[in-house]
A and B are shown apart, each in its own frame.
Chain A
Amino acid sequence: AQSVTQLDSHVSVSEGTPVLLRCNYSSSYSPSLFWYVQHPNKGLQLLLKYTSAATLVKGINGFEAEFKKSETSFHLTKPSAHMSDAAEYFCVVSPYSGGGADGLTFGKGTHLIIQP
């Protein structure tokens, strides 16, 4: 079984300052890990993915995440926040590096607020 814990339900940062969204996971296997973003009243868009290759993963829109097996963490960062980054972010785990037919496990989400 796997689980995902997003440590903050809301994060508020000023435009131009760094963003850190925290995620811890547990998995019995070598997992795949993802971050998805959801803008208001929209579907989910893949930001980045870790599938057992490089532990530092770069995604779209300047986001990146580092897989730390010893800490079971997969935190999402961005050096400088932009107003358009305001959205809901989901950390997601799949039990196998090649994906799993039985679906993904989602964290409960972190609402990112960008202050002008």
Chain B
Amino acid sequence: NAGVTQTPKFQVLKTGQSMTLQCAQDMNHNSMYWYRQDPGMGLRLIYYSASEGTTDKGEVPNGYNVSRLNKREFSLRLESAAPSQTSVYFCASSDIGEGFYGYTFGSGTRLTVV
């Protein structure tokens, strides 16, 4: 099925460890996004990529880096995980302009940092 695929679905890290969350979309969308979801906070934008080759900070970028590897893939890296990064992470994609019909979200990665 067409959509946004995230891996892994679950991950437990120790404080200080690093990891990369992977995201791929097969809808030929130009824009991709990483959000984190915390209880009572809604979703907050970490980083986004308006198009291949560009990335920009969102609301909560500290402690994260991203790579737009190609048009399909947008990865999120935690260089040194902290307990405050325990969250559910969602990747999303969209087109903008006349083709804008909202965002398509992946199913999420549940990350626990101990």
A positions within 8 Å CB-CB of B: 9, 32, 34, 36, 42-46, 49, 51, 90, 94, 96-104, 106-109
Contacts and interface: CB of A to CB of B under 8 A. Distances in A.
Given A43-B108, A44-B90, A108 B96 contact: no
Contact of A32 (B40, B44, B48, B100): B100
Interface in B82-114: 90, 94-98, 100-108
Nearest to A111: B40
Nearest to A4: B42
Contacts of B43: 44, 90, 104, 106
Contacts of A109: 40, 42
A24 to B, nearest CB: 14
A86 B102 CA distance: 22
A32 B41 CA distance: 21
A107 B95 CA distance: 22
A42 B100 contact: no
Given A34-B102, A99-B94, A99-B100, 17 more contacts: A9-B40, A32-B100, A44-B43, A45-B105, A46-B102, A46-B103, A49-B101, A51-B100, A51-B101, A98-B97, A102-B45, A102-B58, A103-B35, A104-B103, A106-B43, A107-B42, A108-B40
Nearest to A46: B102
A45 B4 CA distance: 12
A49 B105 contact: no
Nearest to B94: A99
Contacts of A98: 96-98, 100
Contacts of A9: 40
